[in-house]
Amino acid sequence: MSRQATLTRGSTFKHVTVMSFTGALGLMAMFLVDLVDMLFLSMLGEKEIVAAVGFASTVIFFTVSLSIAVSISATALVARAVGQGDIELARRRATHVLGVGVIFSSVVVWLLWPRIPAILHFLGADMRTLDLATGYLHILLLGMPAVMIGMIGSGIMRALGDAKRAMYATLLCSVVNAVLDPILIFVFGLGIHGAAIASLCARLSMVVVTYYGVVKVHRMIGEFDLMECLQDLKPIAKIAVPAMLTNMSSPLANAIVMEHAASFGDDAVAGVAIIGRVIPVVFGGLFALSGAVGPILAQNYGAKQFQRMHHAMTSAVVYALGYCLVLCSALYLSQGFLVSIFNASNETADLIRFFATYVSFSFFFQSLLFIGIAVFNNLGKPLNSTLLNFGRATLGTWPLITFFGLFMGAEGVLFGQAMGSVIFGCIGFVMARRYINELEYRTEMTLAESVHSDEMLP
């Protein structure tokens, strides 16, 4: 077995914990920088600037989602090859996913660039807000290939079990952004364009960490071969395309929730918006769970160690339960602080308290869905992830928040979304367990047939 298949040995709980926490630190750092970025821009005193960033963020979220999807493909393919002990195949797959990612992201930039004003106008931006958002996006969109390289590189390092260097890429990006933001926005007086340049520099910094980790430390980039790349295109797309669709479901669910909250007035919208800012910071350790469990499952599947795959699933559930018990308790105890720091009053404060008291623990069940998504993305059935996520975003959101909203008001919107997470979390986890059992059975039957064939030979 390859010396690099580190996730096929040792405690599965330790692997899950380390991979999740390192991923969470990087994610939470990026979310915190986004908040600080918005705070700096709001200090300029122009509501058009804040609105422009809001419109641009929709487009940026789309491009980042594409990068994350390709990185999921890189993690799954490389980890599986490493688990099989085939480092040359892992190196080939890493090289070709990276090549495909750079070409794909460059094409996306080429297609979006001239259409940015039209897209922003379609989203509702006009006049000065449209001009500001267009200039902001024209700068920031140039960094998409760098984001693609950074995400894929982080995925490759996670596939190798090197969670710390994968975290360093996002941490460095956040630090560079946080340092350059006030300098370019205030000292040089560049305003929103300064924020865009800071973000562009931060994204370019990800390439440096990725190059050092993937190329210098792990030597996972080989010679690019066009014919072999075309052969690898099918397995890459088989994972990446459903993953892209999966990532699109979250903004769909958020849009449905915000639309229903708007029917209960501005206080309800403010409450949902504040909760939306709190969630990624508090539950970042769960959002990172899918990216943590995936490489562990893929390496052990490549090594045909199904018992460790079952242990990894159990370890992920134990980790999620412990995380939720601690963080949900902290959230419950700090609800008064949240209400005061956001100057919330009336229904806004009631929603924050309702979320902290009753709804927050539903993220344990959402973590079960994350685990299920990791199973299907990394073990050959990414379409199941897409169906589960879109199911939660539609069937698990709209009917439930409509029903509970009739009886509970704005609180029913949060409660309905939580119930959807409970239902689809349980469904996704059960499906994932059964799928691993199915893979194990198939493997045992294949081995039995192979032994039988050998015995029949003279």
Q: How far is residue 418 from each of residues 9, 177, 446, measured CA to CA in Å?
A: 36, 34, 42
Q: What's the 3-state SS for 98-125?
A: HHHHHHHHHHHHHHHHHHHHHHHHHHCC
Residue 53: how many other CB atoms lie within 10 Å = 23
**Cα dist. 133→43, 69, 138, 199 in Å?**
17, 25, 8, 14
d(C-alpha 57, C-alpha 55), whole Å: 5
- Cα 145 from Cα 200, distance rounded (Å): 11
* Integer Cα distance of 109 and 143 in angstroms: 9
Which residues, at least 6 apart from 76, have a Cβ–Cβ distance to it below 8 Å?
159, 239, 294, 298, 377, 378, 379
Predicted pLDDT at 8: 79
The pLDDT assigned to 423 comes to 95
pTM score of the predicted model? 0.77
Q: pLDDT value at position 2? A: 42
- What was the pLDDT predicted at 47? 66
Q: For position 451, what pLDDT does the model report?
A: 59
pLDDT tens for residues 289-339? 877 888 889 888 888 889 999 999 999 999 999 999 999 999 999 988 888
pLDDT for res 138: 93
Q: Which residues of the chain carry a pLDDT beneath 70?
A: 1-5, 26-27, 30-32, 34-35, 38-39, 47, 50, 54, 58, 123, 251, 266, 449-458
- Ramachandran category for residue 315: left, alpha or beta (phi over 0 → left; psi -120 to 50 → alpha): alpha
Residue 453: the pLDDT is 59
- Residue 429: per-residue pLDDT: 96
